[in-house]
Every structure is written in structure tokens, then in C-alpha cells.
Amino acid sequence: FSRRQFIKGAAAGAALGASAGLGLLTPDNMLAVDHSASKAAAKSTESRKVTTICEQCVWRCGVIAKVENGTVKKLEGNPDHPNNMGKLCPRGNAGIETLYSPDRIKFPLIRAGARGSGLWRRASWDEALTYTADQMKKIKDKYGAKAMMFNSTDNLSQPFFEILLKAFGSPNYGTQRSLCFNAMTTGFLYTYGVPQPGTDYKHCKYMIFMGRNLAEGISNNETQEMIEMIARGTKVVVLDPRFSKTASKAAEWLPIRPGTDSAFFLAILHVIIKEKLYKADFVKTYTQGFDDLVQEVKEYTPEWAEQKCEIPAATIERIAREFAAAAPAAIAHPNWRTSNFKNSFQTERAIAVLNALIGNWAQPGGLIPDQEINTAKLGVLSHPPFPQAQGIRLDGVPWQYPLVPLSYGVIQTMRDNILSGKPYEAKGWLISRQNPILSIPERQKTINAFMKLDFVAVIDIQASDTAYYADVILPESSYLERYDGLIPIGNKIFIRQPVIDPLYDTKSSLMIYKELAEKLGLGDFLPYKDERDLLAKQLKPFPITLDELERAGHYAIPNFHEDHSKDFEFQTSSGKIELASSIMAQMGKKAVPTWDEPPRPPEGRYYLLTGKTAQHTQMFTQNNRWLLEVFPENRAWLHTSVAARLGIKTDDDVVLESDVGKVTIKAQVTEGIRPDCIFMVGGFGHVSKGLRSAYKLGASDSALHKTVTDPLSGGSALSETFVTVSKA
């Protein structure tokens, strides 16, 4: 935006303000407000280092920020932090650009034109919060608290968002986990009674990855541990229809047919049982349902699996034997992004059961029982009892999905309920740091749902696609300008603290939640004066002051011993690892993992696969100009033979069309993908004009994805979307 355009825009805003009593702002002139609007472009000449926590993704790595003359000059990894051991990934390194982005929302905004028109006016915090609270109260008074939905990402202040929702009395809460790992969570809950066991990479001798692409979906310390593991000689086998970067580092890449991973694992189970390669003592002592499993997998021979998954029977047999020989220091990884097919729950159950058969539970190189076991007990807030939430949840948890944790939810079903109005109609949505418009399948349907709501408020640092369709944007300070709740990891407590004062008229989510609660008459539920008061309360059980913690960056609890006494107490109905699930049996379903035939694309269509790149985080970082320099847009990967047949070359524009949408995207012709698949990195194709660098860059997978849901885990079956490809 040139200075002349800025002045012109400001003059137009002033004129409108004079005539209408409003300072009308479009996103363009809103974003043109530069650092002169900042509260604190510090003038000091000091040079200092501040220890804090990264938030360029959800992994929470330790950061040491170098500040000179009030400006953040460099971010480095904190060597004392177990999540990253001194290293930052590309996204973490680019955090400074997130802080200083010209597209930050700099003050509260209230919609001043039609929803989604991009017309806003500046508001004071008092006005924006009062307006938000009034709209929420209006919905509650007229339709009940249940008509208000709440949505938040996994973050350090999420527990306080959940207090706000519970105090309000709504049962409707969602995260975006049903677009990621609900199948893994429920598969392991049904088997071990824990949603997410850890993995001991350090001692592992044999690893099978199915949906964990650690070289691109970076989870810092795990990525480092995977690289060390490979260098150490651990055999890594990757099942992936695409030659991912993790596959490129593995000993063996198996380009499996999409949706058939459970056939592969059922056949591995078949071989291990038939050849008696399992740990018989462990199975006898700690599991139940073995006989049912033996009966079920009898028919799943490697030859049968080869017909399904297109991995040679001899390869499956060999891997089964190698895997069992490495036990218990062998892991079939639980995986993360498992939102692939309606049978993904069965795949995760087969993986959970396979780990049980080789007895790797709580063994070096195997599954780690419970990552929560080391969590230090922080001080908690005392508040009045929560009111009883009225009504069932709109996402079907738990009545339809009995083992999906309440805090995970099934977000695509929430969206569909807005449109259907059944079993009752949602009227409002408060969304904190989430972007459902770009994440939920069938983007247009999601936009339609937003247009139907009475009220939408969004808390974010930038004008995300969802914020663009909101009525109020409550601007949050970036992670380098704010406090969040404390984070205990192992025997240490870490702090996210401001590296510099907020540049603009923004607040931490801790204060936004608290002040909104006060406007709603619910202030007693978040009883802290400010962030430091809250953190001091959390720190109360420990002999360290907040000032000391801020200086040190973390506190190590002395004489801390890990408690392994409950490692073999499984929180399942039987108290054992359930090879045959009691709950599945109670629901009248097959209790052991079973084969569920996935759909295949009809002639002329391709599986649409989506995944990550190491340079971006879901749909959050595409507006970061530093990251755009290294990964400027997503492309459609297609196999050389398909490209030759269709006359497509790399860099050509191609049209992908599914049953629900159509996008144009640049082609990447490669041998590194099965001929029946198209792959694209997710998170591009933004519709918000407030994201000036990312707007319309690349294409959105959510515009193509169909809404199909795994009936057991609530996971979105994203890969059951088939597309045609043609030259644009």
C-alpha cells in the first residue's frame, strides 16, 4: 500500500465517519495502519535475551529471543527444552515475520457491511467485548446456552477457554482433531484405555510409519529423534502412496493403495499369529480377546492382502518376521493425521493390537504408557460450580461417538448441524485461533453455514478466512507479545512470556476470555486480575516466584521421580489391553479389528491425498512472507504416466474437480506418487483479503474435500474424495 493510497483510504474513512458517525474501514486501509498505531515500539537501546515458547505450530518448542533496541532480531532454540533440544524448524525461525507482519489485526473490529464483505469499523475493546457479550446473551436468552458453539485450537490457554464455555453452559465445543487424529485416539482408547501413547525412538530397532510424516509434519524433537534413529541403523518402513520426505529417508518405501493399510496390518497379524512370533507370556498376562483375534485374522493371508493393498505377499511376510524379531524394541507407529477413510478406525485398531502382540508396552524401544504421567501439578483456580449444560452436543459426542473425548469433538458435524438445524439450530459461534472455513471439507458449505448464523466472533492475530466472515474480530497479541498458561513437561515447568510489549491494541487470549466472562456476568469463573496474577496462582505449589521463572525460562522440580507403578493398569472395561474391545461388543459390532472395504475411484478419477510440508503449519502460516519465499504455493503432484497421457507438464495450470468443488492449481509431474493418486499440500487457497500475501495463492483442499465421516471415530474421511484432472 503506497503512502498516497493510504492517505486516500484514510480520507475516505474519515469522510464516511463524518457522514455516518462511523470510522468505516476496509481490510486494506485497516491493514495499512503501520507501527505508528503501535502502543510500544520501544525506544530503548538495550540488548537482551528472553526465554519463551514458540507458537508457529502446536508443538511448543523452547525459544530464546534476542531483542535489540526494542526489536526482536533473532529467535533461537532453547537447548534446555525437551521439545526441541536447541533447534527451531523453518516455521519457528520465521516467527519474527509473524510478529511484524503488516497484516496483523491491530485493534478490535466490528463488521460494518454485509458478512464477508470485508467492511469493518474500528472499535474500542470495551465496545467490542460488550457487543460480543450482548450478542451471546441474546442467543442464550432466546434459544438457550446450547445454541452458542465454542471452538478452540490446542494451545496453552485452551483450559481457560474451556472454563468460559462451561461457565456459559453450552455443551457445544469443538477442536479440529476430527480432521486429524480421531481414528488414532479412539483406536488406542478402545485397546489400551489411553488416547495417545508415546513412542521410544531412542531405543527402537524397527519402526513402521503409516500416517506419520515426521520429515514434513515436523514435531521438532520427534523429527530429530527419527533422524538419529535412522542414522543409528534402525530399520524404518514407510507405507505411503506418495514418496514423502520421510519415505525418502526410510529403508523401505511401500507405495500402498490408499485406504488399504488395515489389510497390510491384518496380514502382518496373520503371519505373526500363524508362525507364533508373538510374545505369548505378555499376551496371556496383559491382554484379552486373543482367541477371537486368531479366528478373525485366519482369512487375512498375505496373498489376500496383496490383492487389496498391492504390496507383494512375500514383502508382507518378510516385514512381519523382521518386526517380530526386533520386538519388543519395535513399533508400528500410532500415527497422527489418520483422517483418511471410513475404515481408519479399523486400521488404528489393527496397529494397536499389533503392538500389543509383540509386547512392546512400557519396554525400551516400544510404546510409552502415558505421556501425562510426568505432568507436574500446577495450582488451579477455584471458581463456582459449573452450571449443568442443557441439551445434547451437536457433534454427536458421546451419544453417537461414545469414545471420542469431549474435548476433541467432530467439527464437520457441527457445521452440518448449522445447515440442517437438527437436532436443534445453532445460532452463534465463538472461535479462538481456529479457521474452520479453510479446514472443514466443502468450504462453500461452511461459508453457507457462517452466513446462516446470528453471530460469529473470532479471536485471532490475523484476518484468517474465518475471521473474514465474523461479526467481531478480537485481536490477540502474538505469541512473542503475550503470556499464556504455564506448561509442565516432564520434571520442568516452562513459561511463554512477552519478548516485547504488544505492538498494537491487542490482548492475550487469557485477558480476552476473562474480560468477556466479566461482561457475561461470569467473571467469578476466571478469578485472576491479569496474566501475571494467574501465572503466580499456577506456580503456587512450587518454591519459585514468577519473576524468577521469567528470568530462568523454566523451573526443574528437584528429586522428581517418574512413577511407573501404574504402567500396567489399563483403563479399559476389562483392565487389560483389549484385543477384542468390550465396548465394540456392547455396541453390537465386531470386537476385534476387521476388514472394511474402502471405495475406489471410478474410471478417470483419482484419489485426492493431502498432507504437509515442513515450511507451513496447516492453514496458519501461508501469509508469512519468509515462509512463502521457501514454499510459495501448493501444487498438484501427478504421476509421469498420467501427465504424459493428459499432455500435462510441470508448471502447467491444471483443474482438479471433485463432486463438491473445482480448483485450478499448478502441476508437479513426478515419479514419486502412485498413478492412481493426486497429492496436494493443504492450507492454501485463502479467501480472506486480509491475508494479502496468501490471498488466492495456490488452491484449497477444503474446496474439493467431500464430507464423509468415519462412523466410529468421527474422523473425517478426507481421502474418500476422488477428482478428475485436466489441463486448464
Q: Which residues of the shown chain bind ligand SF4 in the complex (CB under 6 A)?
A: 54, 56-57, 59-61, 84, 88-89, 91-92, 218, 220
- Pick the closer one to ligand SF4 by CB: 371 or 582: 371
In angstroms, what is the minimal distance from the CB of 212 to ligand SF4? Answer: 14
In angstroms, what is the minimal distance from the CB of 495 to ligand SF4? Answer: 15
Rounded-to-integer distance, Cα 245 and Cα 89, Å = 15
- Pick the closer one to ligand SF4 by CB: 60 or 270: 60
In angstroms, what is the minimal distance from the CB of 314 to ligand SF4? Answer: 39
- Pick the closer one to ligand SF4 by CB: 62 or 672: 62
In angstroms, what is the minimal distance from the CB of 716 to ligand SF4? Answer: 23
In angstroms, what is the minimal distance from the CB of 176 to ligand SF4? Answer: 16
In angstroms, what is the minimal distance from the CB of 441 to ligand SF4? Answer: 25
- Pick the closer one to ligand SF4 by CB: 201 or 300: 201
**DSSP, res 508:** -
Rounded-to-integer distance, Cα 103 and Cα 694, Å = 11
- Pick the closer one to ligand SF4 by CB: 53 or 305: 53
- Pick the closer one to ligand SF4 by CB: 199 or 413: 199
- Pick the closer one to ligand SF4 by CB: 371 or 670: 371
328 preceded by a cis bond (ω within 30 of 0): yes
- In 289-355, DSSP assigns E strands to 330-332
Please provide the DSSP assignment of 52-105 as one string: EE--SSSS--EEEEEEETTEEEEEEE-TT-TTTTT---HHHHTHHHHHH-TTB-
- Pick the closer one to ligand SF4 by CB: 61 or 394: 61
How would you classify the pairing of strands 206-209 and 330-332? parallel
- Pick the closer one to ligand SF4 by CB: 67 or 88: 88
Q: Which residues touch 592 (CB under 8 Å, ≥6 apart)?
A: 289, 292, 293, 296, 297, 349, 353, 579, 580, 581
In angstroms, what is the minimal distance from the CB of 227 to ligand SF4? Answer: 14
Residue nearest to ligand SF4 (CB): 92
| Displacement of CA 365 from its chain's centroid (Å) | 26
In angstroms, what is the minimal distance from the CB of 53 to ligand SF4? Answer: 8
In angstroms, what is the minimal distance from the CB of 433 to ligand SF4? Answer: 14
Sign of CA dihedral 72, 77, 81, 84: positive
In angstroms, what is the minimal distance from the CB of 84 to ligand SF4? Answer: 5
Identify the bridge partners of residue 725 per DSSP, sorted by sequence position: 656
In angstroms, what is the minimal distance from the CB of 613 to ligand SF4? Answer: 13
At how many degrees (to 10) do helices 290-297 and 261-274 cross? 110
Q: How far, in Å, are 256, 545, 700 from residue 312 at the CA level?
A: 10, 61, 35
- Pick the closer one to ligand SF4 by CB: 91 or 692: 91
- Pick the closer one to ligand SF4 by CB: 214 or 236: 214
What cell numbers appear for 691 in the block?
A: 491475508
For 668-691, b/e burial (b = at least 16 CB within 10 A) is: bbbebbbebbbbbbbbbbbbbbbb
SS3 507: strand
Sign of CA dihedral 201, 205, 208, 214: positive
Residue at grid coordinates 473490529: 109
In angstroms, what is the minimal distance from the CB of 617 to ligand SF4? Answer: 6
- Pick the closer one to ligand SF4 by CB: 59 or 173: 59
In angstroms, what is the minimal distance from the CB of 78 to ligand SF4? Answer: 10
Element (H, E) at 539: helix 531-539
Q: Which residues touch 712 (CB under 8 Å, ≥6 apart)?
A: 186, 345, 401, 589
- Pick the closer one to ligand SF4 by CB: 228 or 562: 228
Rounded-to-integer distance, Cα 644 and Cα 595, Å = 35
Question: Are the CB atoms for 653 and 665 separated by under 8 Å?
Answer: yes
Question: Are the CB atoms for 688 and 443 separated by under 8 Å?
Answer: no
In angstroms, what is the minimal distance from the CB of 55 to ligand SF4? Answer: 7
- Pick the closer one to ligand SF4 by CB: 84 or 135: 84
What cell numbers appear for 238 in the block?
A: 514407510
In angstroms, what is the minimal distance from the CB of 151 to ligand SF4? Answer: 21
What cell numbers appear for 303 in the block?
A: 496373498
Phi, psi at residue 332, to the nearest 5°?
-90, 110
- Pick the closer one to ligand SF4 by CB: 622 or 721: 622
What cell numbers appear for 643 in the block?
A: 501427465
Q: What is the CA radius of gyration of the chain?
A: 26
For 385-394, b/e burial (b = at least 16 CB within 10 A) is: eeeebebbbb
